[in-house]
């Protein structure tokens, strides 16, 4: 009896230990992966930028004289033609200067007449003295004095003639300033901006004041956008572009790259280049100053194999260093060699993607990639076929909190590895 009790006790203890180990010991939870199919279709690589819509040609109308604005003959959105009066500066001060210059000219001409008479008198005296010196009625000194007086009168005549020309030039300048008080449009166009009011005094001493801004033709517009130096290599004149504006949501406008300006724009060590896009604006829907979101097609491939970008970012949590990067020494495949040969010396980037094996294990594939549209990437090697399933992430229970759900700075390295392996 005692022996049976001991056997039962030993069995109970063994069952208790086994149950504890079974229910509380470490168990390996199976990992379930999310996959996506390799598709065949178009891949379009775009460069996006933000720009401003401006008229192709805009002229700033200023003034060359200072004064008070007497009247305005053009306003915002006024259609003007070349030669039309757009503003007038008070001409009274300039008329007074013109009259003063005219008076000075008359005085200079009168002075010329007086010096001409004096010159004639000196000429007669010189001739008289020369005739008398031959008869020895006057001395040679008298002849020299008469000659000097004649030459002085001749010089005074030249001075008076120069004063007349100076007065004429001053009168022409005064009349030109009076003419500039009437401000005319230099081109045919529409007034975009008016920067002055009646009664305002403008000064043209140091810089020409900007009174009006006239757009030459609003049916032809351009988008001035800045493209970063990393994207400028695929942009050339003649490429088609599309853009949207906030004023017309859902509507796409089209344009053509007219110019890629060579002058770099450096803002806080960020280098960009100005790309000018020509736009047809026959319906005048686009207004100057609108913000345009421009998309430029850099490259396009039709009917090519493509995989989601999440498949290229995915890395298993237990992958080794050589498997985490495609830059290790990937296994050379026939398709990779053919893709490299097709590139005619161009190095295609090598990436690693993962496929599910027959028993559920992950198999790495090293592929050559082409262009990307931000969601999918072209596969130029032949390791994959259309319809093949590639891993894009790990399925997680709904209640499980991932590393990406934690605030910045929280979570262990294992959690960060799990977040990266999701490929999202």
DSSP string for residues in 129-141: HHHHHHTTSS-HH
- 310 and 297 in one domain? no
Residue 366 lies in a domain: yes
Residue 22 lies in a domain: no
Q: How far apart are the first and last CA of the chain?
A: 67
Q: Is the separation of the CB atoms in 177 and 97 below 8 Å?
A: yes
- 76 and 167 in one domain? no
Residue 162 lies in a domain: yes
Distance CA 67, CA 71 (A): 12
Q: What is the pLDDT of residues 377-417, one digit of tens each?
A: 999 888 788 888 888 888 776 655 544 444 444 343 333 33
Q: Are strands 240-245 and 253-267 parallel, antiparallel or unpaired?
A: antiparallel
- 396 and 327 in one domain? yes
- 346 and 264 in one domain? no
Residue 163 lies in a domain: yes
- 194 and 120 in one domain? no
Q: What is the pLDDT of residues 188-234, one digit of tens each?
A: 999 999 999 999 999 987 777 899 999 998 999 999 999 999 889 88
Q: Which of 250, 280, 301 is the last residue of a domain?
A: 301
Residue 346's pLDDT is 52
Residue 208 lies in a domain: yes
Residue 286's pLDDT is 94
Residue 270's pLDDT is 92
Residue 398's pLDDT is 61
- For 193-211, letters b (16+ CB in 10 Å) and e give ebebeeeeebeeeeeebeb
The number of domains in the chain is 4
Residue 104 lies in a domain: no
Q: Is the separation of the CB atoms in 371 and 301 below 8 Å?
A: yes
- 400 and 255 in one domain? no
- 293 and 320 in one domain? no
- 313 and 291 in one domain? no
- 199 and 130 in one domain? no
Distance CA 162, CA 246 (A): 67
Give residue 357's domain range.
Answer: 33-43+302-421
Which residues of the chain fall below pLDDT 70? 1-2, 5, 10, 18-30, 318-348, 397-424
Other beta carbons within 10 angstroms of residue 171's beta carbon come to 20
Q: Is the separation of the CB atoms in 400 and 376 below 8 Å?
A: no
């Amino acid at each position: 009896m005692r022996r049976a009790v001991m056997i039962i006790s030993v069995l109970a203890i063994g069952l208790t230990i086994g149950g504890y180990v079974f229910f509380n010991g470490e168990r390996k939870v199976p990992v379930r992966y999310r996959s996506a199919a390799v598709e065949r279709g178009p891949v379009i690589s775009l460069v996006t930028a933000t720009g401003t819509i401006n008229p192709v040609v805009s002229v700033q109308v200023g003034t060359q004289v200072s004064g008070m604005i007497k009247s305005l003959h053009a306003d915002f959105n006024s259609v003007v033609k070349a030669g039309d009066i757009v503003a007038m500066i008070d001409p009274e001060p300039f008329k007074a200067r013109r009259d003063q210059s005219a008076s000075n000219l008359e005085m200079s001409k009168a002075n010329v007449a007086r010096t001409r008479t004096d010159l004639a008198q000196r000429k007669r005296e010189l001739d008289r003295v020369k005739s008398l010196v031959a008869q020895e009625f006057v001395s040679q000194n008298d002849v020299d004095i008469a000659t000097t007086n004649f030459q002085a009168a001749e010089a005074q005549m030249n001075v008076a003639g120069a004063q007349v020309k100076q007065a004429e030039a001053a009168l022409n300048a005064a009349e030109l300033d009076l003419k500039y008080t009437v401000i005319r449009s230099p081109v045919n166009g529409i007034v975009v901006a008016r920067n002055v009011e009646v009664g305002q005094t403008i000064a043209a001493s140091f810089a020409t004041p900007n009174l009006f801004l006239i757009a030459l033709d609003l049916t032809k517009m351009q988008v001035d956008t800045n493209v970063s130096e990393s994207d400028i290599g695929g942009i050339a004149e003649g490429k088609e572009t599309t853009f949207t504006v906030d004023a017309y949501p859902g509507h796409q406008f089209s344009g053509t790259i007219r110019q890629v300006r060579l002058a770099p724009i450096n803002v806080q060590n960020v280098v960009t280049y100005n790309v000018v896009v020509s736009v047809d604006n026959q319906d005048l829907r686009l207004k100057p100053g609108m913000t345009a979101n421009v998309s430029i097609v850099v490259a396009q491939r039709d009917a090519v194999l493509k995989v989601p970008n999440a498949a290229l970012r995915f890395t298993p949590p237990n992958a080794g260093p050589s498997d985490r990067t495609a830059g290790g020494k990937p296994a050379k495949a026939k398709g990779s060699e053919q893709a490299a040969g097709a590139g005619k010396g161009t190095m295609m980037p090598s990436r690693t993607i993962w496929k599910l094996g027959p028993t559920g294990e992950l198999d790495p594939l090293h592929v050559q990639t082409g262009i990307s549209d931000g969601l999918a990437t072209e596969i130029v090697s032949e390791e994959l076929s259309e319809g093949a399933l590639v891993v894009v992430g790990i399925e997680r229970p709904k209640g499980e909190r991932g590393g990406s759900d934690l605030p910045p700075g929280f979570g262990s390295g294992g959690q960060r590895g799990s977040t990266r392996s999701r490929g999202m």
